Amino acid sequence: MITGSNTDAAQMKPPLRNIGVIGWLRENLFNNLFNSLLTLVTIYGLWLFVPPLIRWVFIDSLWFSSAEACRDIEGACWSIIPNNVSFIFFGFFPEGQQWRPLTAMLLLFALVFYSKNRKHWRQSLAIYWLLGLIVMGGLMHGGVFGMPVVETAQWSGFPLTLMLALFGMVGAYPLGVLLALGRRSKLIGIKSLCVVYIELIRGVPLISLLFMSSVMFPLFLPEGVSFDKVLRAQVAIILFAAAYIAEVVRGGLQAIPAGQYEAANALGLSYAKTMRLIVLPQALKIVIPPSVGILISAFKDTSLVVIIALYDVLKTTKVTLSNPQWMGYSSEAYLFLAVLYFVCCYAMTSYSRRLEKELHAGH
């Protein structure tokens, strides 16, 4: 049925009650009896919950006071953070040397920030990263330019978390790609080796790998030979993440049409070059979002290293809380940690989303 002429239809505006704030409210919150009730209940809940929260966080809280001052207040004692910031972030890294991990971290952030721009993705970028890593390693370990040596056992706090996650990813990615290629190999030996590895690792929790690396692995080593504890944890994380990356990359490889292999082969490209130049660039692009997912979980999973007595940022916070002076402010400390983790993870996801869009716009 047609109502009104064409010109009328062209000039017609939506009825007022369907647009603007009122329209939106009507449509989304009060469109039937049940939803209206639900909305009212939610509003009541928020009214009960939010004002006290705001009072606790902002109004009755202290930010830069001593522990004593905190005893007399109702609100949050955020002072626990600034008072312990150097321990939470750098743990047992010797006092007075903590500018070193700080500089290393800032350098890392600078490199990450610089790498965000795809225009910088040239060979020089790899050189910057290599130089950056050498400098960071030097800063952390010391022993050069008059900086005293700091054993890895003392590396702790946020730099440790970042390091385990970042190197975990950097190490796991190539290994994961190789495993994915191996799993698709026609050579039955290589294929079954990769399948067994991937399924075994995915079948156990990271915690058990960390345990094995710290407890069982040394048993297999000849007497007198010992492996750095941080390095062992790092290896465990790499081996763990690689299995997940392998599966993600395999998904990407499956999405590449056979025609791409055929065209590359028909040009006379070898298997390795076909993979490197044609297949992997396309497959890895597809798997950016799930890869970032793995990076994020690796980042969060690093907190498990506490069980082998490494002090990541979560553990240093716990240690701070066991200080009698600051005992009882765990809500504040853990909220702070949550925000710290969230900011990092959110930065990763939003970057992956942007990258995905940019790469997609490329063609």
Q: Is 281 in the site for other proteins (CB under 8 A)?
A: yes
> What's the CA gap between 121 and 104, in Å, rounded?
22
DSSP string, 262-314: HHHHHTT--HHHIIIIIIHHHHHHHTHHHHHHHHHHHHHHGGGGGGGT--BHH
Q: How far is the CB of 258 from other proteins (least distance, A)?
A: 9
Q: Is 184 in the site for other proteins (CB under 8 A)?
A: no
Using the minimum distance from each CB to other proteins, give the nearer residue, 215 or 277.
277
Q: Is 266 in the site for other proteins (CB under 8 A)?
A: yes
Q: How far is the CB of 271 from other proteins (least distance, A)?
A: 8
Instruction: Specify the 3-state DSSP secondary structure of 227.
Output: coil
Give the range of 23-31, 61-69, 270-278, 298-306 binding other proteins by CB under 8 A: 270-278
Q: How far is the CB of 362 from other proteins (least distance, A)?
A: 7
Q: Is 186 in the site for other proteins (CB under 8 A)?
A: no
Q: Is 358 in the site for other proteins (CB under 8 A)?
A: no
Q: Mention every residue, 6+ apart, whose C-beta is less than 8 A from residue 254.
A: none
Q: Which of 13, 122, 186, 363 binds other proteins (CB under 8 A)?
A: 363
Q: Which of 15, 146, 222, 268 binds other proteins (CB under 8 A)?
A: 268
Q: How far is the CB of 306 from other proteins (least distance, A)?
A: 42
> What's the CA gap between 82 and 72, in Å, rounded?
19
> What's the CA gap between 181 and 272, in Å, rounded?
11
Using the minimum distance from each CB to other proteins, give the nearer residue, 265 or 323.
265
| Torsional class of 224: left (φ above 0), alpha (ψ -120 to 50), beta (otherwise) | left
Residues 218-257 interacting with other proteins (rule: CB under 8 A): 257
Give the range of 61-69, 165-173, 247-255, 281-289 binding other proteins by CB under 8 A: 281-289
3-class SS string, 23-46? HHHHHHCCCCHHHHHHHHHHHHHH
Q: How far is the CB of 285 from other proteins (least distance, A)?
A: 7
Give how far Cα 234 sits from Cα of 64, 302, 323, 340, Å. 36, 9, 29, 22
Give the range of 26-34, 161-169, 262-270, 312-320 binding other proteins by CB under 8 A: 262-270
Least Cα distance to 210 among 172, 240, 247, 167 occurs for 240
Instruction: Specify the 3-state DSSP secondary structure of 199.
Output: helix
Q: Which of 273, 353, 354, 357 binds other proteins (CB under 8 A)?
A: 273
> What's the CA gap between 106 and 113, in Å, rounded?
10
Q: Is 146 in the site for other proteins (CB under 8 A)?
A: no
Chain residues binding other proteins by CB under 8 A are 257, 259-260, 262-270, 273, 277-278, 281-282, 285, 362-363
